[in-house]
Amino acid sequence: MNGRCVITVGDLGEFGIVARIAGRLPQGRTVLLGPGDDAAMVGAPDGRVVVTTDLLIENRHFRLDWSSAYDIGRKAAAQNLSDVVAMGADPTGIVVGLGLPAATAAGWLDDLADGFRDECDLVGASVVGGDITRCDLVVIGVTALGDLGGRPPVTRAGARPGDVVAVAGRLGHAAAGLALLQADRAGGAGPDDPNPELTALVDAHRRPRPPYPCGAQAAELGATAMLDVSDGLLQDLGHVADASGVGIVLDPAAFAVPAGLETAARLLGADPLEWVLTGGEDHALAATFPGGVRLPPVWTEIGRVTEGKGVEVEGRTSEHGGWDHFRA
């Protein structure tokens, strides 16, 4: 115990931590063997397993003063589950590698685990295993698995000229929320004048809401290509254009810019459409569909696939803005 009478992960030790966290993580029906052995075991009824991984580093992907442990857990899970969903698969389980300073409060770790659990619960997945070690920074490695349920995977490479481009989920919200935090304007005019429109944007940065059900839905509707928007719409659609050998032309009028984004943009002197087109981390899904398809209202048509190359926004010169984790 330390002098502050807060139990830390250093007090618990590696095996104490593992036992404590495992107790917070119920195992769903897809899990055949949960935490506690050399490896976990998850059902893969399709005979193929989808797998994706992300590494999140303190002060680069999250800040401990801007996000709670619970939010960080939700977000770290969400960005991986979203990648699974963007293949048209159903997430089944995640494993988490954690690096934590020894002085981390055990309650902080509980909240982080609860965040992982609750985000996984949204899609019927479970935290099936992990690894924990000491590190001066908080480091979170998440790997998510998914099952395709007999569907073909929807890659980035199948878009064809004549397809329509559509998105499901939010765009630009997380970027606006981050900009508000960076400008110290998360509360609007000040802490005594909270603005719910702005608070919602900051919440979007802290805790993305990927449109999970839309992934398998898109696959079933015959989506020819799909990805989740993690680095910015223009940059991510650029990957679809490159992988598919096509061009993409977007109609800027197709994007409804919500009032909250307009408010935040006025406050910060920013262009809200720039957030929509280049902001990442909302984990919207962007997909291409055969021209004749009838899309449910959760999907918004934003453009079309052409014979060209790259991504063009009609009437706008764009620089393919987005996030590069070594250059930014």
B/e letters for 259-277, b = 16+ CB within 10 Å, e = fewer, are ebbebbbebbebebbbbbb
C-beta of 174 vs 261, nearer to a copy of itself: 174
Q: Does 326 bind a copy of itself (CB under 8 A)?
A: yes
Residue 211 tokens, joined: 């449109």
Q: Tell me which of 136, 271, 307, 314 binds a copy of itself, using CB under 8 A.
A: 136
Q: Does 325 bind a copy of itself (CB under 8 A)?
A: yes
Quote the least distance from Cβ 193 to a copy of itself, whole Å. 36
Quote the least distance from Cβ 229 to a copy of itself, whole Å. 11
Contacting range for a copy of itself; rule: CB under 8 A; set: 114-122, 125-133, 205-213, 269-277:
125-133
Site for a copy of itself in 248-287 (CB under 8 A): none
C-beta of 53 vs 182, nearer to a copy of itself: 53
**CA-based Rg of the chain, rounded to a whole angstrom?**
21
Q: Does 166 bind a copy of itself (CB under 8 A)?
A: no
Rounded CA separation 282/204 (Å): 7
C-beta of 33 vs 183, nearer to a copy of itself: 33
In sequence order, which residues have a C-beta less than 8 Å from that of residue 293 and are 6 or more positions away?
164, 221, 222
Rounded CA separation 109/279 (Å): 29
C-beta of 10 vs 247, nearer to a copy of itself: 10
Q: Is 36 exposed, middle or buried (0-12, 13-18, 19+ CB in 10 A)?
A: exposed
Binding mask 214-233 for a copy of itself (x = CB under 8 A): ------------xxx-----
Site for a copy of itself in 82-121 (CB under 8 A): 83-84, 86-87, 89, 93, 95-99, 102
Q: What is the DSSP string of 107-147?
A: HHHHHHHHHHHHHHHTTT-EEEEEEEEE-SS-EEEEEEEEE
Other CB atoms within 10 A of residue 308 CB: 13
Nearest partner of 274 among 167, 170, 168, 172, judged by Cα = 172
DSSP 261: H
Rounded CA separation 98/77 (Å): 13
Quote the least distance from Cβ 303 to a copy of itself, whole Å. 20
Quote the least distance from Cβ 280 to a copy of itself, whole Å. 12
Nearest partner of 182 among 119, 264, 84, 123, judged by Cα = 264
Contacting range for a copy of itself; rule: CB under 8 A; set: 6-14, 109-117, 184-192, 265-273:
6-14
C-beta of 43 vs 247, nearer to a copy of itself: 43
Rounded CA separation 126/232 (Å): 28
Q: Tell me which of 112, 113, 120, 132 binds a copy of itself, using CB under 8 A.
A: 132
Q: Does 195 bind a copy of itself (CB under 8 A)?
A: no
Q: Does 25 bind a copy of itself (CB under 8 A)?
A: no
Site for a copy of itself in 26-65 (CB under 8 A): 32-33, 36-57, 60-61
If residue 175 lies in a helix (H) or strand (E), which one and from where to where?
helix 173-182
Q: Tell me which of 129, 169, 172, 280 binds a copy of itself, using CB under 8 A.
A: 129
Quote the least distance from Cβ 2 to a copy of itself, whole Å. 13
Contacting range for a copy of itself; rule: CB under 8 A; set: 114-122, 150-158, 204-212, 300-308:
150-158
Q: How many residues bind a copy of itself (CB under 8 A)?
A: 74
